Structure 1
C-alpha cells in the first residue's frame, strides 16, 4: 500500500525501535512512558502523514490533558480527526479502567483524617463529571473508607435529595460515619445556599441516627471547599 492512498496509516511498527512506545513499555515498564506514549500504545496507529505519537500529542493538546479526555463524551472523541469509533471506544475503556482502579484499592482502604483525604478518594474523578452528582463515603469506626455510594445525579440540593437516601447505605452497612461529596460542573466550588441547607439537614438527621456526618465537600475543577472547615451547615451555622 502506498502512502498516497487515502486509508494509509502510520503504525507504531514504522517508528524507529527506540521510539516505539510498546517496546519501551516492555523493556522499561509503563511508569517511564509519557502520557502521549501510553495513549499511543492504546491507539496503535496514527493517521495519514501523522504518527500515532503525534496523534496522541494532538489529543492531549486539544482536550487539555488526561482530565479533559476523561470529560469528553464518546461522540466528541469519535469526531476527533484520527480517532473514529473503534479508537474512541478503546480510549474511553482505558480511561474508565484507570478511574475504577483509582477508586477501588480494596487492600488499601484510605483513612479520612482531613478534607484533603476525602478529596483524594474521589475528587479528581468527580471534577471531570459534566453533571452534578452527590456521593457518600461510608466510613468504619477508624474513619477508613468502606465504599463509595452515588446517591443522586442532576441537580443536587435539598429539594431534589431525600435525606433518607443519604443514610440508607450507611444504615445497611452499619457505618458509623460518612462524608458527603458533590461536584459543581461549572468548576466553581463555592457552596450555594442549597448546599448549606442540605448539610444542615444531614447533620441533624445524622445526630438522630447516631451517624456522624464528618464533612461535606463541594468539588470544582482541581479544587474543593470543605463546609465543615468553613463552619457552613455545621455547629448550627
Structure 2
C-alpha cells in the first residue's frame, strides 16, 4: 500500500541547478548523464523515487543503453514507473539515435579506413540478438553504393553461399565489397569460421574481378578488421 504522504517527484520540483531540462538548455545535451536524459523522457517520478533515480534504476537493471535498446517493449512497459507512454518515448528516442548515422551516410560516404566501414553499420547492428552478415558495395572510388543485408544466424563458409555475397555486387556494378557481421556476445574477436569465410570470399572475388577489401566484425562499442589483423588476407 502506497504511503499517501510520499511525494511524487516531477522535474519542475527539483532544485533549479538539478533540473535536467534546464541543464540541457544551458549546457547542451552532452553535459547530461544517461540517467538525466532518461529523466527528461520520463518527466515524472514515483513516490520516493524521482525521474533521475528511475533512469538510474532502468540503466542498471537492463545493463545500460544497449540493454534498453534490446529489451522488448512489453518488458519495458512493465517496469515500475514506466508504462505505455514512457516506454514509447524511450523506444522512440533510441530509434531516432539509431537512424541519425544512417541518414548522415545517405550521401555515398567514402571508405578510407576500417573505422569508416564500421561506423556505417555498427549502430544498426548494435543489440541484434543473432549474427547478421552485411555486404558494403563500393565503386572504383571506394564510395558506398549500397549495403546489402544477406544472412542472419550462425555464419560460416559452409552455410553462407559465397555466390550470394557477389550477386548484389555484380547487379550494382560494384568494384569491391567489404563484409561486415556482428558478434552478439559483444566480443569482436574473429573466429576460425570468420577467417575461413573471408578466404573463401576473397578467392571467389578474384574469379569475379570484385575485390574483397576487408571483413569487419562488430562487437560492443568496438570492432576488428580482419585485414588489419592479417586474417584471411595472407
| Alignment TM-score, normalising by the size of structure 2 | 0.84
Matched, 1:179 2:178: yes
Q: Look up the SS of the partner of 2:101 in the other structure.
A: helix
Distance in 1, Cα, partners of 2:89 & 2:38: 10
Q: How does 1:163-178 map to 2 (within 5 A)?
A: 163-178=162-177
Distance in 2, Cα, partners of 1:49 & 1:159: 57
Distance in 2, Cα, partners of 1:165 & 1:135: 11
Structure-2 residue corresponding to 1:50:
49
C-alpha change, 1:230 and 1:27, in structure 2 (3 Å) is: closer
Distance in 2, Cα, partners of 1:173 & 1:40: 46
In structure 2, list runs of 5 or more residues that go unmatched. Answer: none
Distance in 2, Cα, partners of 1:128 & 1:53: 24
Structure-1 residue corresponding to 2:211:
212
Distance in 1, Cα, partners of 2:139 & 2:44: 47
Is 2:176–2:211's contact at 8 Å kept on the other side of the alignment?
yes
| Alignment TM-score, normalising by the size of structure 1 | 0.83
Structure-2 residue corresponding to 1:130:
129
Q: How does 1:190-201 map to 2 (within 5 A)?
A: 190-201=189-200
Structure-2 residue corresponding to 1:33:
32
Structure-2 residue corresponding to 1:81:
80
In structure 1, list runs of 5 or more residues that go unmatched. Answer: none
Q: Look up the SS of the partner of 2:133 in the other structure.
A: strand
Distance in 1, Cα, partners of 2:35 & 2:168: 40
Distance in 1, Cα, partners of 2:206 & 2:110: 22
Matched, 1:100 2:99: yes
Structure-2 residue corresponding to 1:10:
9
Is 1:124–1:222's contact at 8 Å kept on the other side of the alignment?
no
Is 2:98–2:123's contact at 8 Å kept on the other side of the alignment?
no
Q: Look up the SS of the partner of 1:129 in the other structure.
A: coil
Q: Look up the SS of the partner of 1:222 in the other structure.
A: coil
C-alpha change, 1:148 and 1:61, in structure 2 (3 Å) is: same
Q: Look up the SS of the partner of 1:67 in the other structure.
A: helix
Is 1:127–1:187's contact at 8 Å kept on the other side of the alignment?
no
Structure-1 residue corresponding to 2:146:
147
